[in-house]
A and B are shown apart, each in its own frame.
Chain A
Amino acid sequence: MSNTGSELTVSLWRGRERGRYETYKVPMRENQTVLDVVSWVQRNLDPTLSYRFACRVGMCGSCAMTVNGGPRWTCRTIVSKVAKGGRLEIGPLENLPVIKDLAADMRVFFEKWQQAKGVFAPSKTRHDAIERIKSDSDARIAADLAIECINCGICYAACDSVRWNPDYLGPAQLNRAWTLVNDVRDGKNPERLQAVAAKGGCHSCHSLQSCQEYCPMFLNPSAAIAALKRRTMRAFIKGEIKA
């Protein structure tokens, strides 16, 4: 990759909840990603910079950060597309506590995942016949549309309902719950519907739709949550869940 000779002005968040943006000059290159830029700073300017990444090829979701005000996978964000005037502002994901610098604390994200019962609950044993899943059934189609979530946290960071309501379980969490509601093998769906109808559940979603606009896997938590609203409404009317 050649040096184009010019420089980027990059502001990186340093600190924890309280901190400040520090500015660095980074050589501009062709075909640079935001992750390349962050790595360059840490390796050449400031080894105390903390940040997170793993696969660096858009598969794991670990490198998600706030880039110029929006949550993105930094390994898949081309600098020339987002750095207007050669400027970049990079911070940790919003709506999450900060461990240090660019690394956000994902614990509450996963705790809410458990609260939403986003965990498969088997209903059969190895002695039972294998469940035949028809891939073209409505339920399986619905589940498949939502199943590719890799828990990167971008939707959670983009969501103002998460920002304004600390109890809100979150788009990724409810999206996963929806896939399990549609899984005929799952044995805990009454409890799951109860969980997503509780305080902070699907009814706290106001269809702001930032989640589906930002999801790098092109998933649609807004649609999943709307479907959960319909499903819980039906269950409530039938007396299957309590209000």
Chain B
Amino acid sequence: MIARTARTLDHRRSLLWLAALVHRLSGLGLAIFLPAHFLVLGLAISGEAQLEGFLRWTDRPVVKLAEGALIFLLAVHLMGGLRLLVIENLPWAGWQKQLATLAIGISLIATSIFLVRVF
């Protein structure tokens, strides 16, 4: 259904809505990445020379950035998922916005740590 307004729908300006969107998009991103990830690992079946060659390819900065992005997707999807498991299985908590912010914050920290290590 198309909205009858050109403005951003007001309910989409909420942090909780954004957290849900980030959860869905990160899941989608991971779903797109995983087949590639598995395929590449399968290269090892031809022997360690192929895997070694690939590991050297991963030394490239652009690849490291991409890996950082993936760590972020994984971390944020995991944290968002935990937030959902809390909402759905524990008594209602009023501090959800803080939980959502914390989730995104932890993911960013984990990603930064990774990037610092590999660069």
Contacts and interface: CB of A to CB of B under 8 A. Distances in A.
B8 A69 contact: yes
Contact of B5 (A19, A66, A223): A66
B92 A226 contact: yes
B92 A223 contact: yes
A36 B107 CA distance: 48
Interface stretch (A86-94, A116-124, A127-135): A86-94
B87 A226 contact: yes
B16 A209 contact: yes
A192 B5 CA distance: 36
B87 A214 contact: no
Interface residues of A, number: 29
Contact of A207 (B1, B10, B11, B20): B20
B46 interface: no
A68 B4 CA distance: 11
Interface in B8-23: 8-12, 14, 16-17, 20
Contacts of B12: 160
A207 B83 CA distance: 10
A25 interface: no
Contacts of A160: 11-12, 17
**Interface size grouping (class) on chain B:** 20 to 34
A28 B14 CA distance: 30
B9 A69 contact: yes
Contact of A208 (B4, B8, B20, B92): B20
A68 B7 contact: yes
A66 B6 CA distance: 12
B89 interface: yes
B84 interface: yes
Contacts of B4: 13, 19, 66, 91-92, 94
Interface string B12-46: 10101100100010000000000000000000000
Contacts of B10: 68-70
A208 B16 contact: yes
Nearest to B8: A69
A226 B92 CA distance: 9
Nearest to B1: A163
21 contacts: A66-B5, A68-B10, A69-B5, A69-B7, A69-B9, A69-B10, A70-B11, A94-B3, A95-B1, A160-B11, A206-B24, A207-B84, A208-B11, A209-B14, A209-B17, A209-B20, A210-B11, A213-B14, A223-B92, A226-B87, A226-B88
Given A69-B5, A70-B9, 5 more contacts: A66-B4, A69-B7, A160-B11, A206-B24, A209-B16
Interface of B: 1, 3-5, 7-12, 14, 16-17, 20, 24, 84, 87-89, 92, 96
